[in-house]
Amino acid sequence: MSYDLSCCFRNGDKNKYRILWEITDMCNQRCPFCHAKGTNNITIEDVKKILDNLKILQIKDIILTGGEPFLRKDIFEIMDMIQRGGYCVDLCTNGTLLDKEKISNLKKYVSEISVSLDAHNRELYRVLRGRDDFDKVIQNIRELVFQGIAVHLICTLNSHNYPFVEQIIALAEELRVDSIAVANIIADIANDVDYVKSVLLTDAQCKDIMLLIERLRPVTGIIINTKNIRKVCDNKQCMAGKNILGITSDGYLISCIMRRNSRKIKITGKIDAQMLHDLTADYMESFQK
C-alpha cells in the first residue's frame, strides 16, 4: 500500500517508538542537500550506554542512519547489540560501500534496507552527488535484491532530477525493489542552504510530480510513496516525539532528526516520561512560531 506523507517519517504502531539513530554523521559523499557535517562519530561505548538507557521505552525498531553507516568498521557489532537487545534494526545507506560479503552479513540483522538513488544514469548521479558511484550502487542494489533483502529506494527531488522522475521510477521497477519514496528537500537543514533553495521544486512542479505518481501507481509493479511533497506537515500529522524519536550522532535525544534546531537532551541516564513530554511539547510549539 502506497502512502503520501507530509513529513519524512512514519510509524504505523501508535504504542511503540521508531528510533531514527544517526550512528555517524561522517559520509563518503558530500551532497549539498544533506545535513551530515562529518564531525561526529559516536563511540561504541556510548552506543552501549544509550541502548541500555533506551530500555524503558517500548520500541518497535531502530533505524540506523547517518552520514553513511558503513563508514563505521563496527557497524555489524552495533547491529548485533541492537538485535540482542530485542529490537528490530533497519538501515539507511547511500549503497556505495556495500559488497557481497557485507550484504550476506546484513541478512543476519535486517529484513529491509533503504538506499538513496536520485538518478537514472551516471551523468545525473555525478551532478547530484559529485562522484562516479552510480554503477556501484546499482550493482549493490541488484545484489541486495538477489540475496532476499527488501530494498526501499529514496529519491530526493530537485530541479536537476525533476524532469527524470518517471525514468528513475522505471529503473527502480527494473531493479525489482520493493518500493521507492520520492521525497522533497528540507532546505533549512541542508549543508548548502543557498544552493538547495536554488534547486527546490516550485509548488507547480510538486503538483506535477503528484499527478505523475498518481498516473504511474496503477501500472507500475512497485510501491511508489511520497514524502514532504504535499504541503505541509503540521502538529496534527507529525508524529515526532509521539511515536518517532531521533538520536543525533553526538548522543542527544531529539523529537525529530530533521528538526535540527528543536530541543535536544543529552542521553546520560535513563529516559523518563518527563523528558519525552518536554521534547514533544517543545517540538509542537515550534509549529506555532
Tens of pLDDT along 218-254? 999 999 999 888 655 445 556 665 678 889 988 988 8
Per-residue pLDDT at 92: 95
Residue 276: how many CB atoms within 10 A of its CB?
A: 19
Q: pTM of the prediction?
A: 0.89
R_g of the chain, CA atoms, integer Å: 18
pLDDT in tens, 4-31: 776 666 655 667 888 999 999 888 887 7
pLDDT at 107: 94
Task: Check residue 1 and give its pLDDT.
Answer: 81
- Sheet with strand 252-254: strands edge to edge: 4-5, 223-227, 179-183, 150-156, 112-116, 88-93, 59-65, 17-22, 244-247, 252-254, 264-266
Architecture of domain 4-286: Alpha-Beta Barrel (3.20)
Closest among 112, 95, 97 to 147, alpha carbons compared: 112
- Tell me, what's the pLDDT at 287? 47
- Residues in the chain predicted with pLDDT less than 50, given as ranges, are 233-234, 287-288
Domain ranges for the chain: 4-286
Task: Label residues 49-80 b or e (16+ Cβ within 10 Å = b).
Answer: bbbeebeeeebbbbbbbbbbbbbbeebeebbe
